[in-house]
Amino acid sequence: MRTLRWQILIAVGGLILVVGLLIGQTPSGPDAGPQPVQGGAYVEALVGRIVRLNPLLDFSNQADRDVDRLLYRGLVQFDSQGLPQPDLAESWTVSADATLYTFTLRDDAVWHDGVAVTSDDVIFTFSELQDEDFPGPADLHTLWQGINIIRLDEHTVQFQLSEPFAPFLDYVAMGLLPDHLLRGAQVENLIDHPFNLEPVGTGPFRFDRFLGEEGQIVGVSLLAWEDFYGGPPYLERFEFRTYPDESAALAAYEAGEVAGISRLQGVALQDALRLSSLNVHAARIPRAGIVFLNLKHPEKTFLAEKQIRQALLMGINRQWLIDSLLDSQAIVATGPILPGTWAYANTLEPWPYDPDAAARLLEDRGFVLPVGATPGTPEYVRAKDGAALDLTLVFAEESPFDGMAALIQSNWAALGVRVTLQPVAPDSILPDYLETHDFEAVLTEWDLSPYPDPDPYPFWHDTQVEGGQNYGGFEDRNTSIWLERARTLSDPGRRAELYQSFQHRFQDQVPAIMLYYQVYSYGLDAALQGVTIGPLNDPSDRLRGAAEWFLVARREPAAAP
């Protein structure tokens, strides 16, 4: 009996010990982490100059676009993959032939002055783009001239297109303007309209005032819009202060004047990376380095051979170019459709840097080196039937293109390809060389912003060789069929299949040499929370989730399991 009691005591003691250990491993005060609450002010150093706050006029000014991103909203918005999402329009439908787009507006959206958003605002905004005196991009004006806008009722508007055009949703994402404040305003007077200095939008932040010094605008103060249909932002105030360059912006951060920097590059980026208090975010933007090759050049007929183009691509050390000349702020490119988007072919791998394989391709195509030629000498040039393998490379006479051109020249010289460098004025490349097809090879940067839809049709369809943007003269019937079909379908799944076929074909044919996709870097103070990042369709997209950023938080107990 005594022995049994001791066994019971030992068992009970063991149970108490186990329970004690379990309790010791459980946090005494479980919580759900920081819960954002409204409050606080965020100040960002904006590199550039604020001119006018109007979404129809901000195409050429990044600083204006950044501020407008918080003030205005469009019918739709795009996520980081480039897929359209509801915004001022709660829904939309597309006809079977993709020529009718009907949008239904949300009934809880109001302008910053309290007036409800209606179809009249949609009609006014896009009618301005149709006006002959519209001061924006000519191609945008041309597109809208062929579209009929119909008011179905106060919250429903329809766009009638003359032909199917799947990327159309890109063009209704721009911020709307208030009809009740601008009705009767002529588009030619819009540039100097007082509205641009006292903007009224529908975004999560409303205009408060400009910040001025010595008669100049040096910033703008925005306040949280409590009646924003997506819910009021957590930050009570969002302020931009302008600086001439990244170094001045970084100095302002280190002086405690700002809590973020809109753009970081070069020396300022390297210095910013050393600051533990600053989180540096980097994201891919729609800007790519490219070498256009003239596939129809009457003398350089070897450019029409895909194996030669493949060899030229494999002969460039693109990663070294990125690391040494772009501060590693780029990604080796795989093709003309950007990674991270809905249309990207994830199975693609970039062509490797392989000068030996490139040399074999050139040998196979009959381009051989002179017997006994020494690398690095003028004689080290391949030839076929007495014709030397040489090219003239046109590039903008500015950094970093001068360095890129020199690196490409060196890489191709190692293959036995002689390259003559031709620096030109940056603004002459498009009108004097690409559009006239008066070139052998052109090194440039290809800006695909601000529209997220990939639509490669203008650059690679065979009908665009004459008078279009197919500068290299690439003609491939399979490619043209896929691109033509893809821009007429409203089904993104089927479009993605067609674009994936195009990308694999592009990688095989190498109609141009894609070098890199550029990366955009910006800095946010570590105290700012709720920040999410992803690929950017435009640098202003870094502000996509600004309504969710917060500085003030409280901890709440976690719900019991």
> Tokens in use for 128?
């301005």
- The pLDDT score that the predictor gives to residue 555 is 73
Could you give the CA distance from residue 158 to residue 146 in angstroms, rounded to a whole number? Answer: 14
Once rounded to an integer, what is the mean pLDDT over residues 100-122? Answer: 98
What pLDDT digit, counting tens, does each position of 264-313 carry?
Answer: 999 999 999 999 999 999 999 999 999 999 999 999 999 999 999 999 99
- The pLDDT score that the predictor gives to residue 7 is 37
What H or E segment, with its residue span, contains residue 91? strand 89-94
> Is 557 a residue whose pLDDT tops 90?
no
Report phi then psi at 123, rounded to 5. Answer: -65, -45
What pLDDT digit, counting tens, does each position of 468-481 carry?
Answer: 999 999 999 999 99
Could you give the CA distance from residue 515 to residue 290 in angstroms, rounded to a whole number? Answer: 5
Could you give the CA distance from residue 196 to residue 329 in angstroms, rounded to a whole number? Answer: 35
Residue 146 CB partners (closer than 8 Å, separation 6+) = 161, 162
Q: For residue 96, what are the CA distances in angstroms to 147, 313, 433, 486?
A: 17, 42, 41, 14
- The pLDDT score that the predictor gives to residue 2 is 35
Q: For residue 58, what are the CA distances in angstroms to 68, 342, 343, 377, 551?
A: 8, 27, 28, 51, 29
State the burial class of residue 133 (Cβ atoms within 10 Å of its Cβ: 0-12, 13-18, 19+). exposed
- The pLDDT score that the predictor gives to residue 426 is 97
* Torsion-angle region of 33 (φ positive above 0: left; ψ -120 to 50: alpha; else: beta): left
Preceding amide of 450 cis, omega within 30? yes
- The pLDDT score that the predictor gives to residue 559 is 57
Considering only residues 21 and 463, tell me which one the structure prediction assigns the higher pLDDT.
463
> Is 33 a residue whose pLDDT tops 80?
no
Considering only residues 10 and 539, tell me which one the structure prediction assigns the higher pLDDT.
539
Four-residue CA torsion sign, 320, 325, 327, 333: negative
Strands (E), 324-425: 330-332, 383-384, 387-388, 390-396, 418-424
- The pLDDT score that the predictor gives to residue 560 is 57
Least confident of 15-29, 161-175, 205-219: 15-29
> Is 409 a residue whose pLDDT tops 70?
yes
Could you give the CA distance from residue 75 to residue 55 in angstroms, rounded to a whole number? Answer: 13
> Tokens in use for 218?
């040096």
> Is 19 a residue whose pLDDT tops 70?
no
Could you give the CA distance from residue 108 to residue 86 in angstroms, rounded to a whole number? Answer: 13
**pLDDT band, residue 558 (cuts 50/70/90):** low
Q: What is the mean pLDDT of the chain?
A: 92
> Is 52 a residue whose pLDDT tops 90?
yes
> Tokens in use for 46?
């904006």
Q: For residue 406, what are the CA distances in angstroms to 400, 419, 427?
A: 10, 9, 20
| Pick from 505, 534, 81, 537: nearest CA to 335 | 505
Four-residue CA torsion sign, 181, 92, 131, 141: positive
Least confident of 10-19, 119-128, 183-192, 372-381: 10-19
State the burial class of residue 390 (Cβ atoms within 10 Å of its Cβ: 0-12, 13-18, 19+). middle
Identity of the residue numbered 454:
P
**pLDDT band, residue 34 (cuts 50/70/90):** confident
User: What's the gap between Cα 123 and its chain centre?
Assistant: 28
| Pick from 509, 441, 447: nearest CA to 479 | 509
